[in-house]
Amino acid sequence: MNRRSSAFAGSLSLLLLSSWLGAAIFFSSVVAPTAFGTLRSLKVANVNEVAGAIVNRALAVINVSGALISLFLLALTLTAERKNLKKSVVAGSVALAVMAAATAAGHLVIAARMHALRLAMVTIDLVSPDDPRRIAFNNLHRYSVISLMVAMLAAVAALIFTGFRTMLGTRKASS
């Protein structure tokens, strides 16, 4: 592809990655803590069940969009840069693949298992903390957090490599 197509692909990548990363940071730092905190302060019955349902719906959007965006950008990058496979293209592509794997695993594996455990417990708030299902749920929650963090770090890496590549392409085009 020519420089114009490559610049467009880079700009689109920067836009989509930064938008997804902003949404993921907002979810992690605002949505999830606010859902639990607000419902606890209102003394809502079964607060973990209700807040968990809210957070689960929002996290599904973050994970599915992260997987779709990263796969789309991986295909776009490999198409736009197929004749220019420099280290930054390969590194950015690896970061996008990691982001896709982490968000897909977070949604298709971890969240699915958490959902099955939630159904088995009926109301998580009524299950003892030392119940094996609750322990398994808490472990899966930890994996879910780790999976999202890995995806977010991969998005940062992809942003850096894409930005670097886009900046260099812009400099070459203007000189």
Element containing residue 166 per DSSP (H, E)? helix 132-174
Half-sphere exposure in the Cβ direction for 91 (13 Å, CA): 13
Rounded to whole angstroms, what are the CA distances from 91 to 88, 108, 127?
A: 5, 25, 45
H-helix segments, 42-131: 47-80, 87-104, 112-121
Interatomic CA distance for residues 164 and 99, integer angstroms: 19
User: What's this model's pTM, rounded to 2 decimal places?
Assistant: 0.91
What angle, rounded to 10 degrees, do the helices at 3-26 and 132-174 form? 150
DSSP helix/strand/coil, 118: helix
Kindly report, residue by residue over 29-84, the tens digit of the pLDDT.
999 999 999 999 999 999 999 999 999 999 999 999 999 999 999 999 988 888 77
Q: Are 35 and 51 in contact (CB under 8 A)?
A: yes
Computed over every residue of the chain, the mean pLDDT equals 92
pLDDT in tens, 80-99: 888 777 888 899 999 999 99
| Residues 6+ away with beta carbon under 8 Å from 166 | 7, 10, 11, 13, 14
42, 82 contact by CB (below 8 A)? no
Q: Percentage of the chain surpassing pLDDT 90?
A: 79
Mean pLDDT of 147-172: 87
Q: What pLDDT is attached to residue 3?
A: 75
